[in-house]
Amino acid sequence: MHSNAAFSLGVFSDMKYTDKAVNNAPMLAVDSQRNISVDWKKHAQPWITYMTQNLSHGPYISHELDRIGGGQNVAVVIGIGQHLRAFPLELFINRLLSIRRAIQRLVARSPQTTVFIKLENTRELTSVMVCFSDWHGHLQNLAQREVFGDLRVGIVDAWDMAVAANTFVIHPSSAIIAHQVDVLLSHLCPAQ
C-alpha cells in the first residue's frame, strides 16, 4: 500500500500555532508562505471528558456554519460523534439535521465552499460498552451517511481507516490522522 502520509505531514510542518486558549489546545495555525490557515473549533455541549470545560466556548456547529462567509478557498471539515455516543440516537440525528440545514445555507450563499464530513472512528474496547461501544458509533456513522448523503459534501471515512489499521483508540495515531488528511487533500487538490 502506497502512503502519502509524508506528503500531508510535510504540507503542514510549517504551520505556526498562534493560539492555545482553550484547554491548551491549538485553536489557530497559520502557514503564511502557502497562505493556509487552520481554525479549529470544538462543538457545543455535550462534551464527555475528564477535564473541566468552559460552557461559553464551543458554539453549535450549525451556528458556526452560519457565521462563515465561505468562498473558493474555504474548506470546512465537520467531525461529530464521539462526544455524543452516550446520548440517545435521536439527539444525534437532531444535531445532524441542524448541521445539514446550515450546510445548505452555506452552500446557497457561497457555492464554491467545500464541505467535508469526517466520520467518527472506532474507540477503545475497554470503554464503558453500554454507552460508548462501537455499535453506537456504527449507528451514528450510518446516520451521518443518511443525513448528508445527498448533499455535495466529501466524506472522510475515519471508521474504515481505523478498522483497516486494526486500531481501536479514540485518538488515532499521527499516521492514521495523516491518511485522513491525505484523503481530504486528494479531494481539495486533485491535480496535485
Q: Give the rounded percent of residues in the chain with a pLDDT score beyond 70.
A: 71
> Element (H or E) spanning 37, and its range?
strand 36-39
List the strands of the sheet with 28-31, edge to edge: 16-19, 28-31, 36-39
CATH number at residue 27: 3.40.50
Separation between Cα atoms, residue 161 and residue 39, nearest integer Å: 24
Tell me how far CA of residue 29 lies from CA of 32, 64, 78, in angstroms.
10, 18, 17
Q: How many independent structural domains does the chain possess?
A: 1
pLDDT, tens digit, for every residue of 130-176?
667 788 888 999 999 999 999 999 999 888 888 888 887 777 778 88
- CB of 66 closer than 8 Å to CB of 109: no
Separation between Cα atoms, residue 168 and residue 159, nearest integer Å: 10
pLDDT, tens digit, for every residue of 74-96?
889 898 877 777 788 999 999 99
- Tell me the residue range of the domain where 69 lies: 5-188
Q: Which of 23-32, 75-84, 120-129 has the highest mean pLDDT?
A: 75-84
For residue 122, the Cα-to-chain-centroid distance in whole angstroms is: 14
Give the global pTM. Answer: 0.78
